[in-house]
């Protein structure tokens, strides 16, 4: 059977390409996709032509092995489907099973069973497609290590930012503030647990954030900030509101964009710290206790607890892929999580 897959063809142009997957070999299965989720941060960088084209698409995912971020590119890593055919030697128990896979957007695909993640009981497909981004949010929290009573600011409330906010809301923080220009995402942020969500474009924004962070107190400023907006200028903004020995965790991937920073002011005097975060690896100092399987197990458990399905704003058939990316690119204020539906 043939399979249609989304390809990024050139900047601002995606299309469907018909392929014919090989039959599953030993240890492999064929999966028919039910849902796949767009990861707006990385996928919009590719869509806009701002990803470094010489860079490997992902060194940790077998489905993207050998690919670079150059056009044409088949991409994506959040698919949920049902096992439709078994290769030689595969146990019959896999047949008909609901699975998650780090696979590009395509109607069907062949994968090793070792790379698939069966959906646990109680996790719906609409929740399972959030697994990669929740894993990212948990990695950010691990790298930030929020402490009891801290004042935390999250810059950006796209889907990763919203999931991070929902995770941080479980900590006994003194204050959890988010910064986001889109009104629909600010509302979702407060629903997810932020004490307040601010518009950085508002004239009163600087004064209001300073007031919230209690500049008059002995330890003014934010203790911890997360930059997950995808906007390079937001990193400089995070430093501006960070207190003494405060730390910024950078979760955004800027691609070929440059982040301008003003480090000649309070940066050195305040001993501020910048930390990069990336979901493919565990921080070395945590690797004695944490592993990728442990992190994924936590993500699976939290998916239904956090009610992640509420963040889906659009369900579009695969044939509307151009419209989906145009929507996220031109009207982010209208969408949060867009998922592709398959069949029917």
Alpha carbon separation from 342 to 16, 36, 94 (Å, rounded): 13, 9, 21
Measured distance CA(242)–CA(234) in Å, rounded: 12
Ordered by where they begin, the domains of the chain are 3-119+307-341 (3.90.180.10), 133-285 (3.40.50.720)
**First-residue to last-residue Cα distance in the chain:** 17
pLDDT digits (tens, 9 = 90+) for 14-61: 999 999 989 999 999 999 999 999 999 999 999 999 999 998 888 788
Quote the pTM value.
0.96
Q: Kindly indicate the confidence band of residue 1, based on its pLDDT and cuts at 50, 70 and 90.
A: confident
Q: How confident is the model at residue 63 (pLDDT cuts 50, 70, 90)?
A: confident
CA distances (Å), 176 to each of 68, 77, 170, 197, 262, in order?
A: 38, 30, 11, 9, 25
Q: Answer whether 296's CB lies under 8 Å from 123's CB.
A: no
The string of pLDDT tens digits covering residues 182-231 is: 999 999 999 999 999 999 999 999 999 999 998 667 789 999 999 999 99
- Partners of 276 in the β-ladder: 250
- 127 φ, ψ (degrees, to nearest 5): -90, -40
Q: What's the pLDDT tens digit per position in 98-123?
A: 999 999 999 999 999 999 999 999 99
């Amino acid at each position: 059977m043939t399979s249609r897959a989304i390809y990024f063809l050139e900047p601002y142009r995606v299309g469907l390409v018909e392929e014919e997957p090989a039959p599953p070999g030993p240890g492999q299965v064929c999966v028919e996709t039910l849902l796949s989720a767009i990861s707006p941060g990385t996928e919009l960088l590719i869509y806009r032509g701002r990803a470094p084209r010489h860079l490997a698409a992902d060194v940790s995912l077998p489905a993207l092995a050998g690919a670079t971020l150059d056009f044409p590119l088949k991409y994506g890593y959040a698919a949920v489907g049902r096992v439709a055919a078994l290769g030689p030697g595969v146990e019959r128990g896999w047949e008909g099973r609901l699975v998650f896979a780090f696979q590009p957007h395509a109607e069907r695909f062949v994968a090793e069973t070792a790379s698939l993640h069966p959906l646990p009981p109680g996790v719906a497909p609409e929740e399972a497609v959030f697994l990669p981004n929740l894993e990212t949010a948990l990695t950010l929290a691990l790298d930030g290590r929020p402490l009891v009573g801290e004042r935390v600011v999250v810059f950006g409330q796209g889907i990763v930012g919203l999931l991070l906010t929902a995770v941080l809301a479980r900590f006994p923080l003194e204050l959890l503030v988010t910064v986001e220009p889109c009104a629909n995402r600010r509302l979702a942020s407060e629903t997810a647990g932020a004490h307040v969500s601010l518009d950085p474009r508002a004239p009163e924004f600087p004064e209001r954030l300073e007031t919230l962070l209690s500049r008059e107190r002995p330890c003014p400023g934010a203790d911890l900030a997360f930059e997950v907006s995808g906007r390079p200028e937001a990193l400089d903004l995070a430093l501006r509101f960070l207190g003494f020995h405060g730390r910024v965790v950078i979760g955004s991937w800027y691609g070929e964009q440059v982040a301008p920073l003003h480090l000649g002011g309070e940066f050195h005097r305040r001993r501020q710290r910048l930390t990069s975060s990336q979901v493919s690896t565990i921080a070395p100092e945590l690797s004695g206790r944490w592993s990728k399987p442990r992190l994924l197990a936590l993500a699976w458990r939290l998916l239904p607890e956090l009610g992640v399905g509420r963040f889906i704003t659009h369900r579009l058939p695969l044939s509307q892929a151009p419209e989906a990316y145009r929507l996220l690119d031109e009207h982010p204020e209208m969408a949060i999580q867009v998922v592709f539906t398959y069949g029917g």
